């Protein structure tokens, strides 16, 4: 068995010698660089997609909260509610001399 493999290198050694051969080295480096850049850009794209989803979720929550606040303001500014506040805090309607019109 040892005599048969005498002139041949194992597969791993042949592959390493081929990849680091002066003729193949530029192709090896170019391919490796492109592979690393592809993976890096893909990871960055996925990360940005997560950030966009988080921001969209925050926007949806803010829109819902805004609608809730508008509804609460409308309830507080209703005529029956204002009359309740007037009775509670002993308020009276202003007289004509207290009303100022701004043109």
- Locate the domains of the chain by residue range: 11-90
Cα distance between residue 99 and residue 103, in whole Å:
13
Answer whether 0.85 is exceeded by the pTM. Answer: no
Reply yes or no on whether the pLDDT at 48 is more than 80.
yes
CA gyration radius, the chain: 38
Three-state DSSP class for residue 30: helix
Output 9 or 34, whichever has higher pLDDT: 34
Q: Which residue has the tokens 């929550």?
A: 61
Q: Which of 16-20, 57-61, 90-94 has the lowest mean pLDDT?
A: 16-20
Under the banding of pLDDT at 50, 70 and 90, the label for residue 99 is: confident
Reply yes or no on whether the pLDDT at 7 is more than 60.
no
């Amino acid at each position: 068995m040892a005599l048969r493999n005498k002139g041949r290198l194992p597969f791993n050694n042949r592959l390493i010698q081929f990849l680091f051969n002066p003729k193949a080295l530029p192709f090896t480096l170019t391919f490796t660089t492109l592979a690393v850049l592809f993976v890096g850009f893909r990871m960055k794209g996925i990360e940005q997609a997560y950030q966009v989803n988080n921001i969209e979720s925050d926007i949806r929550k803010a829109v819902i909260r805004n609608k809730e606040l508008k509804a609460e303001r409308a309830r507080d500014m209703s005529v029956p509610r204002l009359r309740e506040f007037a009775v509670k805090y002993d308020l009276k309607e202003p007289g004509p001399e207290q009303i100022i019109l701004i043109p």
